[in-house]
Structure 1
């Protein structure tokens, strides 16, 4: 019996030692997967608290934990409203991550802990309030077109987790509806719909003859390198040939860039060449961040570059709620991070419907919007030459839904879509929290709207 007792005590001591060693390892060198999880939680809570005014615990539970990896259920967050920070960790002490809010520029992950550098951004001018009047000149939307009233109340067409639906035709909002807890004044994250906004900002520089789509030798670290042949045009079409893993749910290039890298553009520009430029399609958030870095570098002056989205796009369109977030080094995250109210997202859609014109002034180059509906051969006809999709979520053939052939899509993670139909002067925005595995297809909503209007 004494031998058995000694064995049991030895096993117990060994187990305690293993637990202590394991905890020490998690504290000193936590796995990247855990850091991605806490970085994601810190960023999402930070942006939704400081930009959208939402409750942090609700954001953690609904937006982060419910649809995410099971490990996210172990995450806790601490919000310091005075300091403008959000700290997240597993079980309160493992794999800590920090996100910091910078007024006017949103939140950024501070994976390297350099909060002072992340805050080193110039003061941002206050955006003037939208004028009184009917949308889009003002914010008055008082009448719902009776033809689409039944569409807007159909829960099956809205899809699970719907947060906002806006229907625009002939320059006016015909109807809108919102999910519980949301409304026309709550900014929503567009995720990859930001890519198209980023392309439009680049288009402003093209119109001003400050940058050319055929330029190559785009980055200094690509000099005397096969990547020097990559053109701005190939980046816009996602045909740059860079190796970039866009798979979510694990530690891939995209999650590492978004949640662990303070300088996202440096990370993306270091990706190796995998294919000859212009020959293969690879959807890449890293590519979109490179586009941001390129147009910012072309402007040169840092304060001017940081003010450019407001001056060139948001202010002319009256998008007073729009916040284009930067990373911790001050590069706009052109792949993923723009918040705006549904009505302001709809203003951007209206710009595209009007072929880049606004109040009689051309804001985008001639042919720029048309390129958003032009499918590329390398993508198998799924993607355009200008940071948009030519087929909707699910990559189903558009003929399956009987939708107009000139339609193109802005699409973002977890169910953010804007369908743009130039031939009908129609845009249908649908935003929410709807993971792809829910099987929701906004094509049915768009078809119902078209049928009702016809």
Structure 2
């Protein structure tokens, strides 16, 4: 009798996992979506492209996963399902996810001084790993792009005198505040994290670590990640991946770091990623920084930035309209690649239209 009860209990415990949809080599397909709401979304996301002026909303890929199944996919321009698309600053959230595996291995703690793992930061000894993840190192970094290239730290790091050793270039900046006191978005902070990972896992493991630790277990086959001349991954900017593969990262995060029966990321790591940086001062329409992810949270008296999306929505965002949106309460993951050059694209508008087309209340 006892053995039968034990067997029944084991079956009941395993049922929720067995009932979930997980991709294998390919995503399984869910119910086909049609109707006027979908048409409204497509009219916004896939307006006729002007490849001369490059103005307007220019979506290269839009892919939607609901409850672990692919329910919508469309491509435009030169992008196809097989294109490993440049993710730009979505790469920052990818390095945070890779670091989460190392955290689960016990290789570092959030409050560890980053200089313990990257000696050139000895001139900034109080900068912690958590500070870097919050973009709150206190380093005097100027994250400006095409509109102010002469004053841009990131342009110098990626394209001129910093490009040979991106982490050393970032570490050589002075301070504008104490570490952990203020948010200042910085591609330099992300590349310093990439350099710390090299020491955490060891030089021999580092070159393959994103693949062995994260991409391989998730079934991601398309990933390419550029390095600088020292072999440091350009974690700020230069990871490439198909939309279908990036969606696997989203599903991992939607399900609190679990992939099938394996807790690939510790739950407290994912919780840290999704908690607002407590020193952040909100500006209108600005997403809230978490642990190298962006959050749809109301903070400091400001309303949440994407008012038509659930407040548990979080995202990885990149230059020219790259986005990975995760909505746990709706069991939705949305990948959007783009080539937006003039500010026409709005996160909230796409999310509003996507929710109208794809949201389906399901039992937890």
Name the TM tier (shorter chain): 0.7 to 0.9
Aligned: 1:220 with 2:119 = yes
Residues 372, 386 of structure 1: 8 Å contact kept = yes
Q: Distance in 1 between matches of 2:120 and 2:227?
A: 22
2:51 corresponds to: none
2:309 to 385, 403, 417: 403
- String of CA shifts for 1:81-139, please: whole Å, max 9, x gaps: xxxxxxxxxxxxxxxxxxxxxxxxxxxxxxxxxxxxxxxxxxxxxxxxxxxxx972122
What residue number does 1:318 align with?
219
After superposition, where does 1:240-259 map in structure 2 within 5 Å? Answer: 240-249=137-146, 250-251=149-150, 252-259=152-159
1:439 maps to 2:350? no
Contact map agreement 1:162 1:430 (CA 8 A) in 2: yes
Is residue 372 from structure 1 mapped to residue 260 from structure 2 by the alignment? Answer: no
Judged with a 3 Å threshold, the aligned counterparts in structure 2 of structure 1 residues 400 and 208 are, in CA distance, closer, same or farther, namely closer
Aligned residues of 2:276 and 2:290 also touching (Cα < 8 A): yes
Paired residues of 2:296 and 2:305 also in contact (CA < 8 A): no
Distance 2:35 2:186 in 1: 36
CA distance in 1, matches of 2:22, 2:62: 15
Q: 1:287 aligns with which of 156, 181, 189?
A: 189
Work out which structure has the larger RCO, using CA pairs closer than 8 Å and 6 or more positions apart in sequence: 2
- 1:287 deviates by 0.4
Counterpart pick for 1:138 among 25, 41, 47: 25
Structure 2 SS opposite 1:168: strand
* Consecutive unaligned residues in structure 2, runs of 5 or more: 1-20, 48-56
Identify the residue that residue 206 of structure 2 maps to in structure 1. Answer: 305
Distance, in Å, in 2 between the alignment partners of 1:332 and 1:135 is: 29
Q: Is the alpha carbon distance of 1:312 and 1:149 closer, same or farther for their aligned partners in structure 2, counting shifts above 3 Å? A: farther
- Alpha-carbon distance in 2 for matches of 1:150, 1:178: 18
Partner of 1:277: 179
Distance 1:245 1:414 in 2: 18
Question: Residues of 1 paired with 2:188 and 2:305: CA distance?
Answer: 31
Structure 1 stretches (4+) deviating beyond 4 angstroms? 140-144, 147-150
- With the length of structure 1 as denominator, give the TM-score of the two structures: 0.65
Matched, 1:348 2:253: no
Asked if structure 2 preserves the Cα contact closer than 8 Å seen for 1:241 and 1:278, the reply is yes
Number of corresponding residues: 314
In the aligned structure 2, how far is the partner of 1:264 from the partner of 1:286? 8
- Per-residue CA deviations over 1:176-223 (Å, capped at 9, x if unaligned) read 111033211111011000001100111111100011111013432343
CA distance in 2 between counterparts of 1:406 and 1:135 reads 22
> What is the SS of the residue equivalent to 1:195?
helix
Say if 2:93 is the partner of 1:196: yes
How far 1:399 moved relative to its partner?
6.3
Instruction: Give 2:44's match in structure 1, choosing from 129, 138, 156.
Output: 156
C-alpha change, 1:438 and 1:446, in structure 2 (3 Å) is same
CA contact (8 A) 1:214 1:231 kept: yes
**Partners in 1 of 2:340 and 2:188 — Cα distance?**
23
Are 2:306 and 2:347, in contact at CA under 8 Å, matched by a contact in 1? no
3-state DSSP class of the match of 1:177?
strand
Say if 1:372 and 1:408, in contact at 8 Å, map to a contact too: no
Q: Secondary structure at the match of 2:164?
A: coil
Residue 128 of structure 2: aligned partner: 231
Q: 2:50 is matched with which residue? A: none
Deviation digits for residues 348-397 of structure 1, max 9, x if unmatched?
Answer: 111111111112101111122223332223222543331011249xxx94
Q: Distance in 1 between matches of 2:94 and 2:272?
A: 14
CA distance, structure 2, for counterparts of residue 142 and residue 222 of structure 1: 48
Q: Does the 8 Å contact 1:373/1:407 carry over to 2?
A: no
User: Once the 2 structures are TM-superposed, how far is the Cα of residue 344 of structure 1 from its aligned partner?
Assistant: 0.4
Look up the match of 2:53. none
State the distance in 1 between where 2:215 and 2:158 align: 24
Between the aligned partners of 1:312 and 1:149, the Cα distance in structure 2 is 42
Paired residues of 1:157 and 1:444 also in contact (CA < 8 A): no
SS in 1 for 2:289: coil
Query: Hey, what's the Cα distance between the residues in 1 that align with 2:242 and 2:94?
Result: 14
Structure 1's unaligned 5+ residue stretches are 1-133
TM-score if structure 2 supplies the norm length?
0.81
> Residues 66 and 333 of structure 2 are in contact (CA less than 8 Å); yes or no, is this contact kept in structure 1?
yes
